[in-house]
Amino acid sequence: MNDFKKKLNLNILIIVFIFAVGLLSYLYFSKIISEKAEEIKNLKNDLNLYTKSIANLAKLKEVSPQVDLYKSKLTLLMPNKDRLIDLPKWISDVARANQVNANFSFKSGGKEPDDKNPGFENFSIDVSGSLDNIQKFLYNIETVAPNFVLNLSSFNLSQTNNEYRFSSTGKVFYIK
């Protein structure tokens, strides 16, 4: 009977040992499998990102000739820095045509152009006249400007008696 108990205890111990080894192996391998599954998920995400990047690059290469066309047309719209000297005279001519008084002056703090971006010069403008004529004047300098790209950044409109006064600062852009 003593021999039977020893064998029974030994068999139980072997079963417990096998169960413990199996449980530890399961936990270890499940952790490894989870890590590998996470790596696979990350690799799939990276692959999707690369695939989208390649597709976007192909679209950019396809559109590239159109960008060059727009860039060349944009350079036709903007003067070089030497042509900015014509801007005050043109502003005066537009003011006279719209029956307003305009005072235009360049301000300091511009930026020189580089290969990718145009440069700009700051300016200020004061216009006085009837509200309707000021609106026509602003419309003309905004839409009709021959080879000048203007940006009005801030403005003030005031009224004294029947005359309105429009003051603004802005930028005129140019290329090399």
Q: pLDDT tens digit string along 13-35?
A: 999 999 999 999 999 999 999 99
Higher pLDDT among residues 131 and 176, named by residue:
131
143, 102: one domain: yes
Least confident of 35-39, 99-103, 163-167, 171-175: 171-175
Of 42, 77, 112, which residue sits at a domain end? 77
How many structural domains is the chain composed of?
Answer: 2
What's the pLDDT at 51?
A: 87
What's the pLDDT at 54?
A: 87
Separation between Cα atoms, residue 60 and residue 110, nearest integer Å: 32
What's the pLDDT at 66?
A: 77
163, 87: one domain: yes
What's the pLDDT at 143?
A: 80
What's the pLDDT at 161?
A: 83
Of 56, 77, 98, which residue sits at a domain end? 77
72, 15: one domain: yes
91, 140: one domain: yes
Segments forming the whole domain that contains residue 140: 81-174
What's the pLDDT at 160?
A: 85
61, 91: one domain: no
- Determine the Cα angle at 107 with ends 105 and 110, to 5°: 130
Residue 129, classed as helix, strand or coil, is strand
Q: CA distances (Å), 62 to each of 72, 73, 74, in order?
A: 17, 19, 20
Of 77, 112, 134, which residue sits at a domain end? 77
56, 85: one domain: no
**Contact by Cβ (8 Å): 124, 156:** no
94, 162: one domain: yes
The model scores a pTM over 0.75:
no
Label residue 95 by pLDDT band (50, 70, 90). Answer: very high
pLDDT digits (tens, 9 = 90+) for 112-170: 888 778 889 999 999 999 999 999 998 888 887 777 888 888 889 898 888 999 999 99
Higher pLDDT among residues 102 and 73, named by residue:
102
Q: Is the pLDDT of residue 105 over 80?
A: yes
23, 86: one domain: no
What's the pLDDT at 133?
A: 92
88, 122: one domain: yes
67, 38: one domain: yes
Q: Within 10 Å of residue 123's Cβ, how many Cβ atoms?
A: 22
Question: Domain of 103: which CATH number?
Answer: 3.30.70.60
Least confident of 7-21, 62-76, 89-103, 114-128: 62-76
18, 71: one domain: yes
43, 122: one domain: no
